[in-house]
C-alpha cells in the first residue's frame, strides 16, 4: 500500500463550527488548496483536521485557510471544549422545548377546532425565540455556508424552519395563508434535540481516546542540585533531568529508574492488569502508575517524542484521515443539498399550481394515513410540500455513516492495544487472506539471551561492544555480555539482514549470519539462533541465542487459521531454526534465510497471486516489507523505522492482536456498509413521499433525527461485537 500513504510533516488540530459532511468537505478543500499542503482530511465525527505538509508552514497559515471558509480553530483541552459545547447544547435544548412544548399543545387544540385567542402571535413570538435564540448556532452555520457559496445541513434545516415560521408572519399581514409557525419551532427544536443526542453519542464513542489524554501528567517534580524539588509543567521538563515520582502518582515522563524499587501499574498502556516490579536500570513509561515506593527517574523522552504523545498522535492521525469507501458518500452528499433544493422547489410549485387537480389524491390518501395534511389552499399546500421535502432530506445520516464507524473502530482498537495509523488500513485489513510474520521479536519475545558461545575473552569483549551499537533484539542479547569500561569500536557499519561490521584498530570484526550454517546443526535443533563472529574475514567462533516464544504465539496462529487467513513465516534466520519455531506455533509455510529485499519480494509474489497481504515485523529489516504490504503491522517494542513504516502498531498485548485488528476491520467495514445502506434507503423512500405531500413536517423531522441516531447507535455495535472476541 505504497500509493496514497501520506508522508512528511504532519499536523492535527480541532476545527469548530462544522455541523455536517458538507462543512467538513469545505474545510478540507480549503486546506488542500493552501500552498505547501500536500494532503488534508477533515473528520466530522472528531472535528479534527489532519494535514501533511510539503514544508514547515506556520500554524497561522492553516488557521487562515479554515477561517476563510467560515470555520474556527480551537486549541484548548479537548475535554474543556466538549464540556462547553455540552453545556451550551443543554441550555439550547431546554429553551427550545420550554417554548415549543406549549406551542405544540396549543396547536393540537387549534387543529381540533378550538380557537385559541392570539395563537398566531404566540407562533410568531415563540418561533423567534427558538429560531434566533436556541437555534442561533444553526442560523450561523447556514449563513457561513451560504456566504461562502455552498450549502450544508444547516441550510436545509434553517430553510425549512424559517419558511414555516414565515407563514405565520405572512398570515399576520392578512394574506389568506395557513400558518405553519409552530412547525418552524418544532423543526428547530427537534433538530437541536438530534444534535444534542448526536453529541452525547459521539463523546461516548470516542471516550477511549480521551482516556489516553487523561493519562498525561500535567506537572513533574524535578530534582535540582541547588534548588531541590521543583514542580514544573510537563512541557518544561527536559531530557536528562532527574524527576521524583511518589507512590500513588502517575509517572510523568518516559525514562530510566536511577534509584528506587516499586510496583508499577502499566495496565492503561500495556493492557496487563498485574503490576510490574521495576528497579534501577528499568525503563518506565509516562502515564503508568507508581504504586508502592518513591522512584527517581532519569528522563529519556519528552514532549512529542514520548510514548504516550506518539500514541495519541497516531490515533488523531487515524481519525483525521479517511477510507476509500467514504469517497462515494462524499460525492453523493456533495450533490445532495442542491438537488434537494431543486426537488423542494419543484414539489412546492407542483402543489401550488396543481392542488385543484390532484387534491382528490390527498383526500383518498388521508383515509389511510391520518397525518396527511387537510390543507387544500394552493399556496399553503405548496409551502407545506416545500417545507416537508427540505426537512426530510437533511443528509445527517450520510455524513455520519463513515466517520462514526471509524471513530468507534479506532477507539475499540486502542482499547485492545492497537493503534491504527492509517485509516485506509481499516478497509483493507478486512480483506486480508495472508499474514506474513517475522520470527525474532514477533513470534518470539524479542528478549533473547546468549545460551552458549565459543569466543575467547578479547573477542567476546569486542563482539559485545560492537553489538551494543545495534538495536536488533539479538544484538542486545550479545551486548548484555559487555563489561563496564570495555573496548569501543572505531567505526561501525550495520548491514540490514546480514549483521554488523566494525574496526578495532586495524582489525575488522563482523558479527552476523554464518557463512556456512552446517557446523551449527546441533544448535539449530534446539531452536536457537546462531551468530557467527569473523575477524578479518575468518570465522573465529559463534554465539547461540535462545529467544522464547511469545505466550500468545500459538493462539494467534490458531485464530488466524480459524478466520480463513493463511499464516506465513519470513525470517532472516536459518532454515532449521525457523522450522523449529514454525512447527511449535503451527505455521506450515516458512521462508528462511531471506534478506530485507527478499521479504519485500515475497510480499509482492503473494500479492501477485491475488491475495491481500498483511505483514508483521519489528525490525529495520522488516521496514520495506511493511511498507510494501497491503497492511503493515509493527510490534510496538520494535524499531522506530518499523513503526513509521506500519499502518497498525501493536502497543499492548501480543501478536494475537493481529486477529483482533482483522476482526475490528471486518466489523467496522460491515457497519459502514449498513450505515450507508440505511441512510440511502431512508432518503430513497422518504423524499418521494414528502414530494407527494404524504408526510407531515413533524414526522419528517423526527424521521431525519432517528436516521442519524440509528447510524451512531449502529456504529457503537463495533465495540460490543469485538468485545465478544476472546482476549488474553
Pairing of strands 612-617, 432-437: parallel
d(CA 489, CA 277): 35
Instruction: Tell me how far the alpha carbon of residue 103 is from its chain's centroid.
Output: 43
Q: Which stretches within 58-152 are classed as H helix?
A: 59-68, 78-111, 119-129, 136-147
Instruction: Determine contact, residues 412/603, Cβ cutoff 8 Å.
Output: no
Is 551 catalytic? The answer is no
Determine whether 472 is exposed, middle or buried from the number of CB atoms within 10 Å of its CB (0-12, 13-18, 19+). buried
The x, y and z cell numbers of residue 494, run together, are 550495520
- With helix as H, strand as E and coil as C, how does 213-245 read? HHCCCCEEEEEECCCEEEEEEHHHCCCCCEEEE
Q: Nearest 5°: phi and psi at 727?
A: -120, 155
With beta carbons less than 8 A apart as the criterion, state whether 679 and 326 touch. no
Q: In what order do the strands lie in the sheet with 631-635?
A: 418-420, 648-650, 631-635, 612-617, 432-437, 566-570, 589-591
Residue in the block written with cell 486502542: 414
At how many degrees (to 10) do helices 657-691 and 697-723 cross? 170
SS3 state at 566: strand
Is the torsion defined by CA of 317, 318, 320, 322 positive or negative?
positive
Q: Which residues pair with 228 in a beta bridge?
A: 224
Q: Kindly state the greatest CA–CA separation across the chain.
A: 109
User: What is the spatial distance between Cα 580 and Cα 523, in angstroms, rounded to a whole number?
Assistant: 11
Q: d(Cα 138, Cα 685) in Å, to the nearest integer?
A: 26
Burial class (CB in 10 A: 0-12, 13-18, 19+), 128: middle
CA angle 238, 244, 247 (to 5 degrees): 140
Distance linking the first and last C-alpha atoms of the chain:
30
The one catalytic residue among 254, 438, 618, 622: 438
Cell numbers of 713, please?
A: 447507535
Residues noted as catalytic: 438
Amino acid at each position: 500500500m505504497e500509493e496514497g500513504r501520506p508522508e512528511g510533516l504532519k499536523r492535527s488540530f480541532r476545527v469548530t463550527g462544522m455541523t455536517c459532511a458538507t462543512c467538513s468537505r469545505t474545510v478540507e478543500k480549503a486546506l488542500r488548496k493552501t500552498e505547501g499542503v500536500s494532503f488534508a482530511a477533515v473528520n466530522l465525527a472528531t472535528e479534527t483536521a489532519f494535514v501533511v505538509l510539503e514544508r514547515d508552514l506556520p500554524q497561522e497559515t492553516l488557521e487562515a485557510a479554515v477561517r476563510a471558509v467560515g470555520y474556527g480553530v480551537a486549541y484548548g483541552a479537548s475535554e474543556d471544549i466538549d464540556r462547553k459545547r455540552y453545556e451550551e447544547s443543554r441550555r439550547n435544548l431546554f429553551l427550545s422545548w420550554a417554548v415549543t412544548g406549549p406551542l405544540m399543545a396549543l396547536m393540537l387544540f387549534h387543529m381540533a377546532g378550538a380557537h385559541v385567542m392570539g395563537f398566531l402571535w404566540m407562533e410568531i413570538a415563540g418561533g423567534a425565540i427558538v429560531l434566533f435564540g436556541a437555534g442561533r448556532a444553526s442560523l450561523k452555520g447556514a449563513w457561513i455556508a451560504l456566504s461562502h457559496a455552498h450549502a450544508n445541513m444547516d441550510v436545509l434545516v434553517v430553510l425549512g424552519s424559517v419558511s414555516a415560521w414565515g407563514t405565520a408572519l405572512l398570515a399576520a399581514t392578512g394574506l389568506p395563508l395557513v400558518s405553519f409557525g409552530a412547525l418552524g419551532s418544532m423543526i428547530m427544536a427537534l433538530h437541536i434535540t438530534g444534535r444534542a443526542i448526536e453529541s452525547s453519542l459521539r463523546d461516548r464513542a470516542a471516550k477511549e481516546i480521551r482516556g489516553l489524554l487523561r493519562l498525561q501528567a500535567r506537572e513533574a517534580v524535578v530534582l535540582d542540585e541547588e534548588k531541590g524539588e521543583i514542580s514544573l509543567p510537563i512541557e518544561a521538563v527536559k531530557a536528562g533531568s532527574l524527576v521524583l515520582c511518589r507512590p500513588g502518582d502517575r509517572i510523568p515522563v518516559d525514562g530510566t529508574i536511577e534509584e528506587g524499587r516499586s510496583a508499577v501499574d502499566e495496565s492503561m498502556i500495556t493492557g496487563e492488569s498485574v503490576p510490574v516490579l521495576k528497579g534501577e536500570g528499568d525503563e518506565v513509561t509516562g502515564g503508568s502508575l507508581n504504586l508502592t515506593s518513591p522512584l527517581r527517574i532519569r528522563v529519556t523522552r519528552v514532549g512529542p517524542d514520548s510514548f504516550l504523545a506518539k500514541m495519541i498522535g497516531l490515533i488523531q492521525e487515524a481519525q483525521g484521515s479517511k477510507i476509500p469507501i467514504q469517497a462515494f458518500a462524499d460525492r453523493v452528499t456533495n450533490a445532495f443539498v442542491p438537488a434537494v433544493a431543486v426537488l423542494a422547489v419543484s414539489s412546492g410549485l407542483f402543489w401550488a399550481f396543481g392542488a385543484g387537480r390532484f387534491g382528490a389524491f390527498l383526500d383518498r390518501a388521508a383515509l389511510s394515513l391520518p397525518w396527511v395534511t387537510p390543507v387544500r389552499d394552493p399556496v399553503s399546500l405548496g409551502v407545506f410540500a416545500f417545507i416537508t421535502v427540505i426537512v426530510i432530506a437533511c443528509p445527517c445520516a450520510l455524513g455520519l455513516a463513515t466517520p462514526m464507524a471509524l471513530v468507534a473502530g479506532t477507539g475499540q482498537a486502542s482499547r485492545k492495544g492497537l493503534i491504527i495509523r492509517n485509516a485506509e488500513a481499516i478497509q483493507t485489513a478486512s480483506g486480508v487472506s495472508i499474514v506474513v510474520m517475522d520470527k525474532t521479536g514477533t513470534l518470539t519475545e524479542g528478549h533473547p539471551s546468549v545460551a552458549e558461545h565459543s569466543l575467547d575473552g578479547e573477542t567476546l569483549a569486542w563482539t559485545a561492544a560492537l553489538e551494543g551499537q545495534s538495536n536488533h533484539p539479538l544484538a542486545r542479547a550479545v551486548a548484555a555480555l559487555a563489561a563496564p569500561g570495555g573496548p569501543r569500536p572505531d567505526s561501525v557499519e550495520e548491514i540490514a539482514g546480514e549483521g554488523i561490521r566494525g574496526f578495532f584498530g586495524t582489525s575488522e570484526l563482523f558479527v552476523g549470519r554464518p557463512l556456512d550454517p552446517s557446523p551449527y546443526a546441533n544448535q539449530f535443533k534446539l531452536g536457537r539462533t546462531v551468530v557467527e563472529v569473523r575477524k578479518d574475514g575468518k570465522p573465529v567462533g559463534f554465539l547461540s541465542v535462545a529467544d522464547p516464544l511469545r505466550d500468545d504465539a500459538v493462539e494467534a496462529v490458531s485464530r488466524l487459521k480459524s478466520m480463513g487467513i493463511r499464516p506465513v513465516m519470513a525470517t532472516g534466520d536459518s532454515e532449521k531454526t525457523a522450522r523449529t519455531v514454525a512447527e511449535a506455533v503451527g505455521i506450515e509455510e516458512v521462508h528462511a534465510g531471506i534478506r530485507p529485499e527478499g521479504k519485500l519480494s515475497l510480499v509482492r509474489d503473494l500479492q501477485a497471486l491475488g491475495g491481500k497481504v498483511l505483514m508483521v515485523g519489528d525490525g529495520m529489516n522488516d521496514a520495506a516489507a511493511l511498507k510494501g504490504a497491503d497492511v503493515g503491522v509493527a510490534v510496538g517494542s520494535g524499531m522506530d523505522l518499523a513503526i513509521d513504516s506500519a499502518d497498525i502498531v501493536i502497543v499492548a498485548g501480543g501478536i494475537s492482536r493481529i486477529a483482533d485488528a482483522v476482526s475490528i476491520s471486518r466489523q467496522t467495514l460491515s457497519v459502514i456498509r449498513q450505515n450507508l445502506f440505511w441512510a440511502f434507503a431512508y432518503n430513497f423512500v422518504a423524499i418521494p413521499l414528502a414530494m407527494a405531500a404524504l408526510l407531515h413536517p413533524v414526522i419528517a423531522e423526527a424521521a431525519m433525527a432517528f436516521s442519524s441516531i440509528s447510524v451512531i447507535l449502529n456504529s457503537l455495535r463495533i465495540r460490543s461485537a469485538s468485545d465478544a472476541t476472546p482476549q488474553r
